[in-house]
A and B are shown apart, each in its own frame.
Chain A
Amino acid sequence: MKTFFLFFRKNRASFLGMMLGSIAGYFYWQYYGIYDGTFGFSSEWWANCIYGLLLGGLIGSFMRK
């Protein structure tokens, strides 16, 4: 348990980025993504959330101390 707590604490910027990114991905899907069927699952809410999660995590990983 302590190990996981330490893991989350050390990567809190990435996790925060992932959380905000997935929320942003959902809103992106609501207003834009749902109309775009040009690529694999680009119009599916979960795909947009996962892209948002990964991009948010990427940004968060740059902000790690």
Chain B
Amino acid sequence: MNMSNGHSFYFKPWHFLLAIVIFFVLTGVIAEKKVNHIPLSENTNSILTEVDEISLDKEGITFLFFYRKDSELCQKMRHNIEQLDAENLQGIHFYAMDIEGHAEYYYKYNVSGIPNLLIFNGDVETKRVMGVVSAGNLEKIVNKMHH
């Protein structure tokens, strides 16, 4: 930065545009490596209950997880869901549905991609978690639903 004789360094729009592009690429690369390190769900002692039909509790909170068995990303998101502390999940139902055999629910709930975690308050959808979200963020989401 040359500050002599009144010359100053000014931020220009292209500085920020370049920074945005670099940050976008960097986070994409680092996140992909991070997701690769997430283990696959072992499906044992899972808090998720497999369902073939969806019947929502009109008074409770329901987390409905749409996945596909052969999808690694779904298994990784499932692993993150299974890290949730069961003690904090009182009053919340956790269901999982394999979308392969239940395409009608895919269309009914307008699921645009998997993994997809729909959150219902009663029988009304309140939020939708798309993609792979960290276990820490899932804890925050659960705490939000409690309050």
Is this pair of chains taken from one and the same complex?
yes
Residues of A with Cβ closer than 8 Å to B?
3, 6-7, 10-11, 14, 34-44, 47, 50-51, 54-55, 57-58, 60-62, 64
Q: How far is the CB of A58 from chain B (nearest CB, A)?
A: 4
Given contacts A7-B3, A35-B128, A54-B19, contact A40 B13 (CB under 8 A): no
Given contacts A58-B16, A61-B15, contact A38 B130 (CB under 8 A): yes
- Subset of 8 A-B contacts with CB under 8 Å: A7-B3, A7-B8, A35-B129, A35-B141, A39-B27, A41-B27, A58-B16, A61-B16
Most buried by B among A3, A34, A42: A34
Given contacts A37-B131, A43-B133, contact A11 B10 (CB under 8 A): yes
In the complex, whether B11 has a CB less than 8 A from a CB of chain A is: yes
Number of A-B residue pairs at CB separation under 8 A: 87
Query: Which residues B17-37 have CB closer than 8 A to chain A?
Result: 17, 19-20, 23, 27-32
Q: How far is the CB of B34 from chain A (nearest CB, A)?
A: 8
Given contacts A34-B140, A35-B129, A58-B13, contact A7 B30 (CB under 8 A): no
Contact B11 A14 (CB under 8 A): yes
Docked CA distance A35–B131 (Å):
9
Docked CA distance A44–B31 (Å):
11
Given contacts A54-B23, A55-B20, contact A37 B130 (CB under 8 A): yes
In the complex, whether B1 has a CB less than 8 A from a CB of chain A is: yes
Contact B131 A36 (CB under 8 A): yes
Given contacts A57-B16, A62-B13, contact A40 B130 (CB under 8 A): no
Which 10 pairs between the two chains have the least Cβ-Cβ distance?
A: A40-B31, A37-B131, A37-B133, A58-B16, A38-B131, A40-B27, A14-B11, A40-B28, A10-B8, A3-B3
